[in-house]
Each structure stands twice: as C-alpha cells, then as structure tokens.
C-alpha cells in the first residue's frame, strides 16, 4: 500500500514494438477501475519476457501481484475480484449468446415498427422479431457450416438419415428469414420455415424429453455452449408458427 493509503499492484505485461498484449491492457484497466495504483512494468523484448516467465515459473503474461502475492493473468484477476467464479465452479454451458440474439432481434423489430408505423406494438413487429431472429441465428451457423453440421448430427433426425441436410439447413433458415423480413415470396419462405421448423421441433423433443439426452444446441453455431432444450425448441416452434401464419395472413388480410 502506498504512503497515501492507495492500494498498489505490480503488473508485468508485454509492450513491444510489434506486439502490445491486449490482456495486459485489460488487466491494467481493471486494476485502475478497482482503485489500485498500478506499478506498470513493461516487458519490451522476447528475451526479457522469457526470462521473467522462467523466473516466476509461469507460462503466460501478463502477471499481476497484489500485496506481494502473485494473482496471475487477466482471467485470474477477474476471479480475484469476484467478477467470475473460480474455474472449478464455472459451467461449460451458457444461454448468453442466444439471449443476446433474441434481445437484439426484438429491439430491431421494435425499431422497424416505430419507423414504419409510428408505434412499436404492431403485429408486424412480432413477425419481424421472429424473422430477424431466424436470420441472425442463420448467420451464426453460416460462420462455420462444417462445425454446425457436425453438432447438428447429434440430434436432428433428418440429418442422420441424409447428412447433406445439415449443410443445407442454415441456408434454408437464412432464406426464409430474409424473405419473411421483406414480406415477399411467402410461397417459398413459408414451406421452408414450416418444414425445417417441424423437423427441428420433433428432433429436439425426442432427444431432450423422450431420450433424456444432455446435448449442446447447434442453434447458435457449432461452437455453441447453449444446452439443447427449451430455447432450441422455441426456435423451431417460431419457424413453424411463421410457416403457418405467412400464407394464412394472405387470406385474412
């Protein structure tokens, strides 16, 4: 602790001409936001960095020391400040990606509704929410179709019988979502959404509620940590609903 009572921390991080460690910057920022005076030590060469790591018996930088005790890297610092739980208490599943997607889709839908109709509470806003959710979820899958299709094979009944369906699925979801957002070609978008939504709903229901399997959902891509279950089923049910509603809407309105 400094003479004026300010808490101090020692931070060792790489600051080289061709490399500025991002985790070092994040560690420094976190320490300052937590009220620490940071004694910032720059490791300016590869040789200096290697010598420091060998001396401390560590394999990575940055490294933070508080009260003479080594806390560790940026992730360790987050645990130290109780921002994150300890590694042994951390779960390998998270709903955060799909919550972010649905939240952004909802806000986009409300924004479009306000822009077009001067109010957010419209039927079109609900339609846009579903179609935009489909489109954003498709983007997640299309980032790595191979990875998505591999995870998809764990539970989708049609993909298990015809493997190429796992590759086609995200393109179909994107197509249906885009056309429904535009409000055009319902004779294409509705059957596609209804088909993939129905197959998905049946597959997920069987895997989760009948077979009682604990799987990860491929809904946000092949690296997803979202558990297969209610959220995954909701995606498929929304597609089914839009697949039924869009052609029905043409007759009612």
Please report the pLDDT score of residue 95 as a whole number.
74
The dihedral region occupied by 15, where left means phi > 0, alpha psi between -120 and 50, and beta the remainder, is beta
Please report the pLDDT score of residue 6 as a whole number.
57
Listed residue (112, 153, 116) closest to 130, CA to CA = 112
- Cβ neighbours, 10 Å, residue 199: 19
* DSSP string over 77-127: HHHHTTSS--GGG--S--SHHHHHHHHHHHHHHHHHHHHHHS-S--HHHHH
Banded pLDDT at 158 (limits 50, 70, 90) = very high
DSSP 58: -
Please report the pLDDT score of residue 202 as a whole number.
95
- In sequence order, the 6+-apart residues with CB closer than 8 A to the CB of 155 are 203, 204, 206, 207, 213, 215, 228
How long a stretch of residues is the chain? Answer: 253
Judge whether residue 231 has pLDDT over 50: yes
Please report the pLDDT score of residue 220 as a whole number.
72
Q: Is 251 exposed, middle or buried (0-12, 13-18, 19+ CB in 10 A)?
A: exposed
Segment 51-90, tens digit of pLDDT: 999 999 999 999 999 988 999 999 999 999 988 777 665 5
Please report the pLDDT score of residue 90 as a whole number.
54
Measured CA to CA, the distance from residue 134 to residue 181 in angstroms comes to 10
pTM: 0.76
Judge whether residue 21 has pLDDT over 80: yes
Please report the pLDDT score of residue 222 as a whole number.
58
Please report the pLDDT score of residue 232 as a whole number.
81
Please report the pLDDT score of residue 4 as a whole number.
39
What number is the average pLDDT over the span 132-149? 92
Please report the pLDDT score of residue 84 as a whole number.
77
Angle at 35 between CA 79 and CA 21, to 5 degrees: 60
Determine what percent of the chain is predicted with pLDDT higher than 70.
92
Angle at 171 between CA 244 and CA 198, to 5 degrees: 35
Segment 202-221, tens digit of pLDDT: 999 999 899 888 877 777 77
Decide if 238 contacts 105 (C-beta within 8 A): no
**Alpha-carbon torsion (124, 104, 173, 206), positive or negative:** negative
Please report the pLDDT score of residue 161 as a whole number.
92
């Amino acid at each position: 602790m400094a003479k004026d009572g300010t808490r101090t921390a020692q931070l060792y991080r790489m600051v080289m001409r061709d490399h500025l460690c991002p985790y070092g910057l994040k560690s420094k920022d976190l320490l300052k936001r937590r009220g620490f005076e940071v004694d910032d030590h720059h490791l300016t060469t590869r040789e200096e960095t290697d010598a420091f790591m060998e001396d401390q018996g560590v394999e990575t930088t940055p490294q933070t020391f508080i009260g003479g005790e080594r806390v560790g890297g940026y992730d360790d610092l987050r645990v130290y400040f109780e921002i994150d739980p300890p590694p042994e208490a951390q779960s390998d599943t998270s709903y955060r990606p799909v919550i972010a997607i649905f939240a952004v889709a909802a806000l986009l839908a409300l924004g479009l509704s306000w822009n077009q109709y001067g109010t957010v509470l419209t039927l079109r806003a609900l339609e846009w929410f579903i179609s935009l959710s489909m489109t954003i979820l498709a983007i997640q899958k299309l980032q790595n179709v191979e990875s998505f299709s591999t995870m998809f094979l764990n539970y989708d009944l049609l993909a298990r019988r015809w493997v190429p369906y796992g590759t086609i699925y995200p393109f179909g979801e994107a197509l249906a979502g885009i056309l429904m957002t535009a409000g055009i070609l319902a004779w294409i978008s509705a059957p596609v959404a209804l088909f993939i939504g129905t197959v998905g709903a049946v597959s997920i229901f069987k895997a989760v509620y009948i077979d009682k399997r604990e799987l990860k959902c491929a809904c946000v891509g092949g690296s997803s940590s979202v558990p297969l279950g209610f959220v995954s089923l909701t995606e498929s049910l929304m597609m089914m609903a839009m697949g039924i509603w869009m052609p029905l809407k043409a007759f009612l309105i």
